[in-house]
Amino acid sequence: MSHDCFRLDDSITLLPVVHGCGQFARAAEKWLLNHPFDCLAVPLPNSFQSPVLEAVNRLPCPSIVIQSPSELDDHVEDDDSEDDLSEEDSMGNDRSLARPSMEGFVSPLDTLESKRSDSRDQGGWVADDEYGESSQEKFYEGEITDEMRREFFEEDGDEFDEDDPDFEMEFESEEYMPTSYVPIDPCQAVIAALRFAQSERIPTAFIDLEVAVFEAEVSALPDGFALREVSLESFSAAVLPAVSRPELQQTRDRISAMASSLRKLAKKYKHTVMVCSIEHWPWIREAYQDVENEGPQDEDFQEPEICSVQENTLVFLLSELPYITGVYEEGRIITIEQSASTAAIDGIKRLLMSARASYMADLGKRARRITPLLLSQCLKYIRNLTLLDSRLTPDLYTITVAAKQVLGDQFAIHVVEAASNYPFVEELPWPALSMSTDCARVPDGDMVEMVNRLAGNPMQWRSIELNRRPLKSDLKNWQMQWNPYRQCSWPPEDDLIESFRTRVLDRARASLGADLARSEKFSTSLMDGIDIRETLRHWYDGSLYVKIQPPSVGHLDACIMLFDSVANPRDYPWRTTWFAEHQGESTLAFYATDYRAELLGPGVAVATYGGALFLYPPRSIPDIWTDESLDFADTLEDRLVAAACVHSQSKQIALLSPKPPSSTWRKWAKRHRKTLVHVPMGQFNDGVIQQLRTVHVLNGQEVRSYAAHFIRKV
């Protein structure tokens, strides 16, 4: 049978998986469903059995089981070998800090100078241990400054002495040894297998070695997305040649201990299945065949405890994105096969659709239209970026970058928020813990280093520049500090909308000349080009006709832009007239949404245009919203058109709107000896229109010096 490659003998079967992969979690459930067994073994110590199974029973709500490192004195053996130490080692040398190898441990100070790396080998110093073996220690390699020392000692309430020779000894204390944890994550294959065994009332065995300080050894593995096309057996066989022998002595001891436990389970159960890491699969098989090796003894350890996880930090706990994890969990209700094959792809699509819904609800009329074409381009961009990273499944950084580049900063913020949303959260009876990158704040308030016992592929945390939403407390302070008698615009937006005004006037002039165009029979010149229509009409006589386009006549100094043609006065309570700051700007009268309802920063607010009137060159006019001579206009649009007819000095007025001007507006223009030249809004890109409708209001010109930090592009 195809699964015989996983069998060690008639009683033991190894099921290799990649930890932290939703595809492998669903594939493991499917495999266990199709192959009967009477015992499930997992690569976790026996001390974790009770808390892990208790937490698994609360799924799909995620949680965490943590185990603090044991005291150094509890697991350092005192035997006769100490008498063999050299005199130099017994005189206060560094080897007097006898402790287990800390390979894989990264000091908290590393985060001050270096970014997180995928590589496990950071270098360090090598010294002979008390058994004559060589062990590689990892320490902070950068320069330790006085400020760093002072900050370190001040946090512990100690006095700092720059000349203290015991500084290094105090820093390398057990306080900074990592705390190991098991994530109770639905997309962890081991947790999914335990969940299946619990539902089927199948006995479970936790057979890993008890260690005082857990050391992780992780290497890069292929993407689990390939399981959509290949079987679990084929995937494992293809990866097998690339699996290297473990480097850490603790990992080798753990493998030996698990193999010894499997031999004991083989005598107790007819068929035991062990879910193990694909990195340990060949070496557990090798150790299992060595029947003379009984494995090392358990070390002293601290009892594990269960904690709930703060909802806003689940992204650091779950192996998949919280939203994708929710999609996998919803798929379990249908069938395991469908959830495994569609969640990876449909999950990204559903994530973008969910982000679009929240984006439209948040920005309303200011939001740009997220069309299926734009979503398709975003998905292609995500695919290309993922392939450039030599992966098949995108991460949060890739999705966010693509959303930012294709759909804007605001949409990218909603993508990040939607990706962090996990639907199956409930209150748990355990103390809460806050996760972060490789560390956590435990319930007693301390920050501790964390190491995952079920670590998957190495993760690389990258930063992307996105302006977050302001906090409610900040909004309240900014509203109290706002001076209602000071307003000014944001210059980059002024340049943008003035440039667009010029384009609208050019289109209006072109339409004026189009009405005067005529055709005539070709004689000596092609004039403005061949008139194809007239030439085909006179095809029977072989005549050639050309177009004559007379130059544009007239002067346009007024431009009306009606973005919302049927404007509700309640939606646009802010109505004002702004005057030009220099000769390159127009006199601007507009109606817009209330800027005070949406503050972005101290002295920075945003509103949305409903309609605007531009007069260029700029001139002084009465405020059209308080001018009693315009009270005959009933609606907001009527008042803009009436003001343009009164204050325009040219015979034509450009009107940009979705619909042609009404007969009433034409009568008003004729009464003032004016003509309305309609420019359809459909001639311009919808994304450009939505961007132009956004106006940022600053509370004074001095705010312009820092406003760019708070202004977010839609």
Q: State whether 391 and 249 are in the same domain.
A: no
Q: Which secondary structure element, helix H or strand E, spans residue 666, and what is its range?
A: helix 663-671
pLDDT at 88 over 80: no
pLDDT at 377 over 90: yes
Cα–Cα dist 199/378, whole Å: 40
pLDDT at 153: 45
Examine residue 85 and state whether it is found in any structural domain, yes or no.
no
pLDDT at 87: 35
From 387, 405, 421, give the residue that closes a domain: 421
Nearest C-alpha neighbor of 462 from the set 104, 117, 20: 117
Residues 317, 64: contact at Cβ < 8 Å? yes
Cα–Cα dist 665/669, whole Å: 6
- 564 Cβ partners below 8 Å, 6+ apart? 365, 571, 572, 610, 611
pLDDT at 291: 80
3-state secondary structure of 37: coil
pLDDT (average), residues 297-312 = 91
Examine residue 434 and state whether it is found in any structural domain, yes or no.
no
What tokens appear for 86 in the block?
């050299």
Q: State whether 509 and 599 are in the same domain.
A: yes
Cα–Cα dist 46/701, whole Å: 67
Residue 565 domain boundaries: 488-515+553-709
pLDDT at 89: 37
Q: What is the pLDDT of residues 590-615, one digit of tens each?
A: 999 999 888 888 999 999 999 999 99
Q: State whether 526 and 498 are in the same domain.
A: no
Q: State whether 332 and 398 are in the same domain.
A: yes
Q: State whether 234 and 187 are in the same domain.
A: yes
Q: State whether 646 and 704 are in the same domain.
A: yes
Examine residue 414 and state whether it is found in any structural domain, yes or no.
yes
Beta bridge mates, 451: 180
Residue 678 — φ and ψ, nearest 5°?
-85, 135
pLDDT at 131: 34
pLDDT at 591: 94
DSSP string, 211-271: -SS----------GGGGGTS-HHHHHHHHGGGPPPP-SHHHHHHHHHHHHHHHHHHHH-S-
Mean pLDDT of the chain: 81
From 271, 292, 316, give the residue that closes a domain: 316
With cut-offs at 50, 70 and 90, classify the pLDDT of residue 138: very low
Amino acid identity at 435: M
What tokens appear for 439 in the block?
């560390």
Residues 673, 658: contact at Cβ < 8 Å? no
Examine residue 167 and state whether it is found in any structural domain, yes or no.
no
pLDDT (average), residues 257-281 = 92
pLDDT at 710: 86
Examine residue 701 and state whether it is found in any structural domain, yes or no.
yes
pLDDT (average), residues 638-652 = 92
What tokens appear for 473 in the block?
């407390």
What tokens appear for 379 in the block?
């998905």
pLDDT at 504 over 80: yes
Q: State whether 589 and 654 are in the same domain.
A: yes
Angle value at C-alpha 193, between 187 and 194, nearest 5 degrees: 105
pLDDT at 460 over 90: no
With cut-offs at 50, 70 and 90, classify the pLDDT of residue 679: very high
With cut-offs at 50, 70 and 90, classify the pLDDT of residue 364: confident
Q: What pTM did the predictor assign?
A: 0.71
pLDDT at 378 over 90: yes
β-pair type (179-184, 447-452): parallel
Q: What is the pLDDT of residues 541-574, one digit of tens each?
A: 888 988 887 766 667 899 999 998 788 889 999 9
Residue 38: alpha-carbon gap to chain centroid: 42
Examine residue 296 and state whether it is found in any structural domain, yes or no.
yes
pLDDT (average), residues 232-236 = 88
Domains contained in the chain, number? 4
From 399, 421, 443, give the residue that closes a domain: 421
Q: Residue 498: which region, alpha, beta or left (left: phi > 0; alpha: psi -120 to 50)?
A: alpha
pLDDT at 53 over 90: yes
Cα–Cα dist 459/436, whole Å: 13
Q: State whether 642 and 559 are in the same domain.
A: yes
Q: State whether 542 and 648 are in the same domain.
A: no
With cut-offs at 50, 70 and 90, classify the pLDDT of residue 203: very high
pLDDT at 21 over 80: yes
With cut-offs at 50, 70 and 90, classify the pLDDT of residue 8: confident
Q: What is the pLDDT of residues 474-489, one digit of tens each?
A: 888 898 989 988 889 9
pLDDT at 134: 37
Examine residue 433 and state whether it is found in any structural domain, yes or no.
no
With cut-offs at 50, 70 and 90, classify the pLDDT of residue 147: low
Examine residue 542 and state whether it is found in any structural domain, yes or no.
yes
Q: State whether 254 and 288 are in the same domain.
A: yes
Q: State whether 242 and 378 are in the same domain.
A: no
With cut-offs at 50, 70 and 90, classify the pLDDT of residue 341: low
Residues 553, 512: contact at Cβ < 8 Å? yes
Q: State whether 191 and 299 are in the same domain.
A: yes
pLDDT at 115 over 50: no
